[in-house]
Amino acid sequence: MSMATGLLMRVATTIHLPVAYLASLTLRGWAGVVLGLAVLYLRQISTLSKSGKDSPCPPFGIVFRILYGLFGTQVAELVLGRMLHTPEDQPQAEQVGGTTATTVGDPELRVMMVPILGGAFGGNYSFLVWDENDKDRRAICVDPADPYPVLRAAESAALNIQLLLTTHWHFDHSSGNATLRRKLGPSLQVVASAEERGRTPAVNKRLQDAEVLSLGRLRVRGHSVPGHTKGSMVFEVFNAEAAPGAPTVAFTGDTLFCGGCGALFECSAHTFHASLQTLVQRLRPQTKIFPGHEYTEMLLQQACQRNPNNDAARSKLQQAKLLRSRKQPSIPTTLEEELSYNPQLRASPQELAMLCGCAQDDAPDEPTSMRDALLRQQKRD
């Protein structure tokens, strides 16, 4: 028998055995196989680590792991999208969330905050960024998870969206990507971190850590910040021709909020601490921070309970309450402000692990704290 014939026979046997087994199954058996494969698939696509050095804490159960895996599939997009997205002919979603779209910033760097998805995920924001001096009205869009309100907001400001940035793959940040790409055409650049390109819909540009993109005079720098998800990215935007020292803006998704930080789903507290430290070291203290959710009041209440003597937290909470009573967004905040009261941002690795619900000895010993990093940066400046 030749080598080729032997190989063919071995392949035929290998294929024949499972085929014969499947052919002998009853309907119940088939249902079991399909269910088993579905569970394996969902577990495999779920990026929640379950063991090892970089596991999140507290550990997640199997049901949560499966649902989390499902959260990033086309099924979730179809079901949740149908339930939560504003239909094309319906009014702006801001009325649902009780927050009005608001524009802030100098003409060189305008930012419109567009409330989306109502209160389904605690109040999401999408953002439009542009340079008033750009005669072509080119704009950057961040996390348009409810696509039609964002498209209408761009239309109302006569903006031409050319760049779409996705902070991370979660449905409530990325689920408008496909619609925007379909509506705006293939010239739209849809950007996500290189790590999450496969999990984020409609991406045609993957960004590496510290890589810079251009749109007219605007520049976008991506900062890789694993923690909430493995490929989370903070996008810093600035105008290349702005006055020296003019504040830049940063879109932090679910990594950094006003008064707190996002949940640890895919990395350890130690990794998350290193990511937050990266932000503190790379961003200027005056950088305007635009988080992806309106969680300010809730998080500052918690911060005040944790540290009742922190005057900065109390004052920021009063300010946020006033803004919210007027249906205004409580953001942006600044990095400097956050460093004065944000418990997670100010925490040492051990403290951050405790705040995230990890056992104390789960966190590796690491002497550098956020406060030390800020002091070092202030000395440099």
Which positions touch Zn ion (CB under 5 A)? 170, 254
Amino acid at site 363? A
Q: How far is the CB of 263 from Zn ion (least distance, A)?
A: 8
- 3-state SS, 24-83, equals CCCHHHHHHHHHHHHHHHHHHHCCCCCCCCCCCCCCCCHHHHHHHHHHCCHHHHHHHHHH
Nearer to Zn ion, 170 or 230 (CB): 170
CB of 84 to Zn ion, least distance (A): 15
Which C-beta is closer to Zn ion: that of 94 or that of 254? Answer: 254
Q: How far is the CB of 168 from Zn ion (least distance, A)?
A: 6
Q: Are 316 and 330 in contact (CB under 8 A)?
A: no
Provide, rounded to whole angstroms, the least separation between the CB of residue 48 and Zn ion.
13
Closest distance to Zn ion from the beta carbon of 167 (Å): 8
Burial label for 325, CB within 10 Å (0-12, 13-18, 19+), is exposed
With CA atoms as reference, report the closest residue to 231 among 257, 200, 187, 262. 200
Beta carbon nearer to Zn ion, 169 or 238: 169
Cα–Cα separations (whole angstroms), residue 112 to 13, 120, 332, 347, 372: 63, 21, 11, 31, 34
- Nearer to Zn ion by Cβ, of 253 and 329: the residue is 253
Distance of closest approach, residue 118 Cβ to Zn ion, in angstroms: 17
The SS3 assignment for 233 reads strand
By beta-carbon proximity to Zn ion, the closer residue of 57 and 104 is 57
Q: How far apart are CA 183 and CA 143, in angstroms?
A: 16
68 vs 238, beta carbon nearer Zn ion: 68
